[in-house]
Homo-oligomer: A and B are copies of this chain.
Amino acid sequence: MKTNADERKTATMLDDLITPTLLLDRERLERNVRRLAARAEDLGVVLRPHMKTAKSVDVGRHVFPDGPGPITVSTIAEAEYFADHGYRDITYAVGMSPASALRAMEICRRTGVDLKLLLDTVEQADALADVREATGVTPSAFIELDCDDHRGGLKPDDPKLLEVADRIVAAGANLVGILAHAGESYSLSSPDALVKAAENERQAAVAAAETLRARGHACPIVSIGSTPTAHFAKSLEGITELRAGVYMFFDLVQHGVGVCTVDDIAITTLATVVGVKPEKGWVLIDAGWMALSRDRGTASQKVDQGYGLVCDEKGRVLEDVIVSQASQEHGILSMRCGSGKSMPDLPVGTRVRILPNHACAMAGQHDFYSVVDGERPRIEARWERIRGW
């Protein structure tokens, strides 16, 4: 007899999907992908998409219609998955530990992939010698640059920059370049500030590359990127490649930053109404933080979207209806404070779609995408995604 688990995999119509579940609008994905690909071409740089948002080779086929291109990943598990699906040029953009570097080089040895590491200390640089000896693979590594005090990396004028570069070479590894990420751009919201953040990221990376070249290091790759700065950079002179990930799907945080419209957002969680509390103006749905994620990234923006903005089953925004509270498997819909509107009639059994605050976080709560096209009721495909480390 067919189990519920079987049923989950065979639905062909939106109405037959078990909720909560993740939807991906293919047309919006393709539009977002085309937009940044065109920008990269205009700016004369290679686009190296970050696959940490999508985590899916099926999405990858739409990002690279002509076959696997250069990508960025956030875990060794992603590196291995994409390497096993034909990707040959991968940057692992999280600071290496001796253990993760060993695992990365084992993947290189097994699959032949060119998997580049990231580091910013002499200790990590020195460790590359052991990694090389243990695996017989010559590691390639970027030096991580800190352009805005956001996370890891060295400042462009830090004397350790040259020391780390020299130690990478001394360890018998390849120094492939400089990698910067303008993470602070996510907290901005005006075009002027975004243009400035992008230019700051560019200048920092170019300055660091010039310092390395003056010392005799070739520094062939000068890599920058974040979804906001990738969309607002005016010039990328001196830069060779651009990284971005969330641009494929976009989300309410990116909308708050000013990078996309709500109609660009390609993923939603489909949910079902399971209760009503008219005396409180509440509608309860079967999607809580386990399906939506705990991300409250819009809480610090001008418009707080709660745990997500609510759309009807076809994806049309129900204005000012948000998921105001979430527990593990319950979400509470209510009107945004001060909206002056009243809750639309959403009886038990009604389907709604919830737009994500943060696409990487919402998608991370699901194992597959049900692919749809706009308001059409048909499920075009079921795309797997991976997780774990």
Contact = CB atoms under 8 A, between A and B. Distances in A.
Interface of A: 1, 3-5, 7-8, 18-21, 52, 74-77, 80, 84, 94-100, 103, 106-107, 110, 120-121, 123-124, 127, 151-152, 183, 272-277, 284, 286, 289-291, 293-296, 325, 327-330, 332, 347-349, 360-361, 364-367, 387-389
Contacts of A100: 272, 274, 286
Contacts of A329: 52, 74-75, 94
8 contacts: A1-B110, A18-B389, A19-B99, A94-B274, A94-B329, A94-B330, A95-B274, A100-B274
Name, among A103, A277, A367, the residue most crowded by chain B CB atoms within 10 Å (CB to CB): A277
A120 B349 CA distance: 14
A4 B99 contact: no
Contacts of A18: 76, 99, 103, 389
A200 to B, nearest CB: 19
Contact of A328 (B21, B74, B80, B365): B74
Given A5-B80, A294-B296, 8 more contacts: A1-B110, A4-B76, A7-B103, A52-B329, A74-B328, A95-B284, A294-B294, A367-B387
Contacts of A121: 275-276, 348
A110 B3 contact: yes
A172 B110 CA distance: 62
A286 B97 contact: yes
A84 B4 CA distance: 11
Given A94-B330, A98-B349, A389 B272 contact: no
A151 B289 contact: no
Given A121-B275, A286-B100, A294 B293 contact: yes
A273 B247 CA distance: 29
A99 B275 contact: no
Contacts of A106: 4
Contact of A99 (B103, B110, B349, B387): B349
B330 A277 contact: no
Name, among A75, A127, A183, A328, the residue most crowded by chain B CB atoms within 10 Å (CB to CB): A328
B152 A330 contact: yes
A328 B183 CA distance: 12
Given A4-B76, A272-B99, A124 B94 contact: no
